[in-house]
A and B are shown apart, each in its own frame.
Chain A
Amino acid sequence: MEGDQETNVYTLVARKPSFDLPTACPNCLPAYIYLKLAQLPFELAFNSTFPDSDELPYFESDTYVAYNNEDGGVIEKLKKDGIVNLDSQLQSLSDYLSLKALIVSWLEEALTYEIWVGTEGISTSKIYYSDLPWVISKVLFYKQTYLAKNRLGITKENAEQREKQIYKRASEAYEALSTRLGEQKFLFEDRPSSLDAFLLSHILFIIQALPVTSVLRCKLLEHSNLVRYAEKLKSEFLEASSSSPSPPLHSFPSSFPRKSSKPKSKPKVEKTEEEKKFKKRARFFLAAQFLAVVIYVSVMGGGSSDELEYEDEDD
């Protein structure tokens, strides 16, 4: 086990690297970049056998775990639990929310569409299935493609129309972001934010992981300032060594406050102690009744059990 109370070792568990990216999965990359932008030292571990899980990426430190399918994602959870928060003063800004909506809805939709439908999943084998045997990867690929289409609301009838809509929205989003960014280093003044993490991850993934024939990739390359922005941040934060001694941009508590974090669970009815005891007793009572009947029938009726043996039967 790593770490004790004094030195917490942070680990991000993500999918495997490929396409010259530290993690090839488009859901895991934003979390990785966010931690890099915050200059938080962490270790990277890989899970390559669960391509259809929505828990990945998860961030852990000793017994603390932040799963991606809780509380709006890993990044949100890290902000909420006070581990690392790059958006502390930005959330009140008016355009923070609109940019966030643009990035996490339209751009993410476009990316999902492009990976599973637009490029027919060419890149997925390296991202998700590199460590799984062929049979399993084929079945999971079909499953994930089907789920992606469902999520995007694509059916046979509206496929074309939906595709046009998705690409149009992506184009508009790139236009708006390009105008907003200009030649700035970050989206907001001089400080990195979680939106930079999402945008950088999106751009890097499209450029490096998608094939050259991808429609979305072509649309993105039309905005050269977005490409320059990505290259600059990549060389500064991602290619630098992760154990740099530079002070973090924002202070964070050395021992994070233990906030209550209920795991994602199906809605359960809270039972009172008494009800639980009663149910337990009832179960024992029923089991005892059943046992008594069984014993009575078999011991009193049949006698002891014998193995089946071939015996000579006397006439």
Chain B
Amino acid sequence: MENPAEKPDPNPSTPKIESEDEREELGDINGDEEEEEEYEEEDDGKPRTREDAIADRIKAESLFRRMRATPVAVRVHDVIVKGNEKTKDHVIEAEVDVVRQATTLQELLKASKVANFNLQALDIFDSVKITLDSGPPELPGTTNVVIDVVESKSPITGQIGTFTKAEARSSSLEGSLKYKNIFGYGDIWDGSLAYGCDHSAEVGLGMYLPRFRGRPTPFTSRVYLSTQDWLKFSSYKERALGLSLGLIASKYHELAYNIAWRNLIDPSQMASRSIRRQLGHNLVSALKYTFKFDQRNSSLRPTRGYSFISTSQIGGLAPDSRTLRFLRQEIDLRYAVPLGFYPAALNFGIAGGITFPWGSGYKSRASCVPERFFLGGNISPVCSLGGPSALWGFKTRGLGPNEPRREVQDDESGDTYERDFVGGDVAVTAFADLSFDFPLKWFRDRGIHGHVFACAGNMAELSENKYRNFTAPKLLETFRSSVGAGIVVPTSLFRMELNYCHILKKQEHDRAKSGFFMTFSTSS
């Protein structure tokens, strides 16, 4: 077998060749468009006569016929890696391990495509080329897989983007500098600065390893220093210095460990009683497991499919019993139904979460405020997959259990609120959203569409023995809800909504108003 995959497709007019797909596959393996040149190079500069070209073509055609008819048996003899000066061989071979298992030519072509994708995903190469060469002549039916890589010349890259972080539960703008492949293990080091809409700032140093000690999933670690300013809503500021380790990160599962020194302070000295009691230092040592199953066709404008995400956290995993001990569980279920006319779709979602301390005296102990649930904010529930977080029409931390702040005799009321929202130990939200395109082509081309929505949510406290007063009818009675309609403008950075919300039901002290609101969301 001679260079089957290198046969370019220079003769598409040949009617016998009906296997366009196969030819495109062959062309695709290399990922760029240099097959013709490479084919000529492989010929070692022999002068090409017309007869040679015809002979080669006939061989290729017969090969394609064979491939269409039956699986062509082939065995991978060797994987040769070229072009890597810094990167270790085993790093590249680990990504292309899948080609060794191929037993037929068709499987090999597919595996080569996957291997190419894996190598590109390492993000440390400028280009990746996989070619199938014939094996040693004494071993018929074998092939050598030759991998040509071109390592990135400039190992430092910078980027700015908007993200939605699961922990922050809101969108953030992040700028980062990445230093790639310092040690040749496919390692990516990055320093980043992030500023979030929820008044948070974070500076961090991270490291990403695609393979760590032979494990199949990448390993990430990150040292961070973050502050979150909740003075306006809950009269406290949170500062954390921590280390988070991403232990398992696969398509459905994610396991991370986080250890952080967290400090809650109140520079304004206006906090309410519950918040006052929580001020101080804490060591958080927590394991977080996330199961994510997202079959929706889009996370910014889902029109079909469903998704389910469950996040479980257990804190206090340390030999020292003085670390923060808590349990936290969140689930989020979404379902999108296409309606056929205009690309209209109905989106449903329901989310819930509960948190509780554990350890001695857990029933009467207060749950830690940063681990509680807070509803409200300027993100759209349609995009914020991950747990109960947003309700249209309600301001950031704008509903739920609240307490009066410290009294102060001050005549200037201004923007200052008199109550702290202390968060809930259990939260439930639900929403329904009907999205539809506008009839004008101008809007459709830009993805601008409209939507009509309704949402409802509620929270309650359970810790500090308040679970005794908790009843389901009471929770249902005090449910907050809103309806509205708006325009959705998707941009390359985020999804923006301009909505008119009407608050159907709210409780005393909730920060919610009927009117126009904007929300910004990034895909989570």
B282: CB under 8 A from chain A? Answer: yes
Within 8 A of A (CB), among B268-294: 268-270, 272-273, 276-277, 279-283
Query: A273-296: which residues lie under 8 A (CB-CB) from chain B?
Result: 273, 276, 291, 294-295
**Which of the segments B126-134, B406-414, B454-462 contacts the partner chain?**
B406-414
What's the Cα separation between A304 and B491 when bound, in Å? 6
Q: How many residues of A contact B (CB 8 A)?
A: 50
Q: Tell me if B403 is interfacial: C-beta within 8 Å of chain A.
A: yes
Q: How far is the CA of A131 from the CA of B268 in the complex (A)?
A: 25
Contact call B492/A305, Cβ cutoff below 8 A: yes
Q: Are A261 and B409 in contact (CB under 8 A)?
A: yes
B28 within 8 A of A: yes
CB pair A50–B405 under 8 Å, yes or no, is no
Q: Mark B389-408, 1 if CB is under 8 A from A, else 0.
A: 00000000000000111111
Asked if A1 lies at the interface with its beta carbon under 8 angstroms from chain B, I say yes
Whether A263 contacts B270 by the Cβ 8 Å rule is yes
Q: Which positions 58-109 of chain A face chain B at CB distance < 8 Å?
A: 58, 60, 63-65, 67, 70
Q: Which of B78-86, B246-254, B316-324 contacts A (4 or more CB under 8 A)?
A: B316-324
Does A294 contact B279, Cβ atoms closer than 8 Å? no
Q: How far is the CB of A128 from chain B (nearest CB, A)?
A: 11
Contact between A263 and B408, CB atoms less than 8 A apart:
yes
What is the bound-complex CA distance between A47 and B276, given in angstroms? 9
Residues of B within 8 A of A273 (CB): 414
Complex interface: chain B residues within 8 A of A262 (CB): 408, 410
Find out whether the CB atom of B414 lies under 8 angstroms from the CB atom of A133: no
A294 near B493 with CB under 8 A, answer yes
A295 touching B489, Cβ below 8 Å? yes
Q: Are B28 and A313 in contact, CB atoms less than 8 angstroms apart?
A: yes
Q: Does A212 reach chain B (CB closer than 8 Å)?
A: no
Other-chain contact of B409, A51, A70, A135, A260 (Cβ < 8 Å): A260
One of A291, A294, A303, A310 near B445 (C-beta < 8 A): A303
Query: Smallest CB–CB gap between A303 and chain B, Å?
Result: 6
Contacts of B306 in A (CB 8 A): none
- 0/1 per residue, B456-492, Cβ < 8 Å to A? 0000000000000000000000000000000001111
Asked if A302 and B28 sit within 8 Å, CB to CB, the answer is no
Task: Give the residues in chain B near A156, CB-CB below 8 Å.
Answer: none
B350 at the interface (CB under 8 A from A): no
Which residues from chain A contact B322 at a C-beta distance below 8 Å?
A: 131-133
B489 & A47 in contact (Cβ 8 Å cutoff): no
| CB atoms of A63 and B404 under 8 A apart | yes
B385 to chain A, nearest CB (A): 14
Find residues 1-48 in chain B having any chain A CB closer than 8 Å to their own CB.
9, 24, 27-28, 33
The residue from A55, A133, A276, A291 contacting B320, defined by CB atoms under 8 A apart: A133
| CA gap between A298 and B405 in the complex, in Å | 43
Residues of B within 8 A of A48 (CB): 280
User: Cβ of A304 and Cβ of B447 under 8 Å apart?
Assistant: yes
Whether B277 contacts A47 by the Cβ 8 Å rule is: yes
- CB of A258 within 8 A of CB of B282, answer no
Report the minimum CB–CB distance from A291 to chain B (whole Å). 8
A263 to B270, CA, bound (A): 7
Inside 8 A of B448's CB, which chain A residues have their CB?
A: 299
Chain B residues with CB under 8 A of A298: 491-493
Interface residue? B329 (CB, 8 A): no
Q: How many A-B residue contacts, CB cutoff 8 Å?
A: 112
B residues less than 8 Å from A294 (CB atoms): 491, 493
Is B446 an interface position by the 8 A CB rule?
A: yes
List CB contacts (< 8 Å) of A135-155 with chain B.
135-136, 140
Q: Mark A247-286, 1 if CB is under 8 A from B, else 0.
A: 0000000000011111111000000010010000000000
* Residue A307, interface by CB 8 Å: yes
Q: How far is it, in angstroms, between the C-alpha of A135 and the C-alpha of B259 when the chains are bound?
A: 12
- Say whether A304 contacts B283, CB under 8 Å: no
* A51: B residues at CB distance < 8 A: 281
Least CB distance, A40 to chain B, in whole angstroms: 20
Tell me whether A295 and B280 are in contact (CB under 8 A).
no
Please tell me if A314 contacts chain B, counting CB pairs below 8 Å.
Answer: yes
Complex Cα gap A260–B407 (Å): 9
Tell me whether B493 and A53 are in contact (CB under 8 A): no
A1 to B447, CA, bound (A): 51
B445 to chain A: closest residue by CB: A303
| Mask: chain A, 2-13; 1 = CB below 8 Å from B; 0 = not | 000000000001
Complex Cα–Cα for A204 and B480 (A): 55
Given A63-B404, A304-B447, A315-B33, A50 and B280 contact (CB-CB distance below 8 Å): yes
**B5 nearest CB across to chain A (Å):** 15
Q: How far is the CA of A65 from the CA of B283 in the complex (A)?
A: 28
Contact B405 A307 (CB under 8 A): no
CB of B325, distance to nearest CB on chain A (Å):
12
A178 on the interface (CB 8 Å rule)?
no
Let me know if B106 is at the binding interface, CB within 8 A: no
Within 8 A of B (CB), among A10-57: 13, 45, 47-51, 53, 55
Chain B 465-524 interface residues, beta-carbon cutoff 8 Å to A: 489-493, 496, 523
Residues in A whose Cβ lies below 8 Å from that of B414: 273, 276
Q: Which residues of A contact B (CB under 8 A)?
A: 1, 13, 45, 47-51, 53, 55, 58, 60, 63-65, 67, 70, 131-136, 140, 258-265, 273, 276, 291, 294-295, 298-300, 302-305, 307, 310, 312-315
Nearest 7 interchain pairs by C-beta: A49-B280, A304-B447, A50-B280, A298-B491, A260-B409, A63-B407, A298-B492
* A-B CB contact pairs (8 Å), 7 listed: A13-B276, A65-B406, A67-B269, A133-B320, A264-B269, A307-B298, A307-B523
**Extra inter-chain contacts (20) besides given A264-B269, A304-B446, A315-B33, CB under 8 Å:** A1-B403, A49-B282, A63-B272, A63-B404, A63-B406, A64-B406, A65-B269, A133-B283, A136-B283, A263-B270, A265-B268, A276-B414, A276-B415, A299-B489, A300-B446, A302-B492, A303-B446, A305-B300, A312-B28, A315-B24
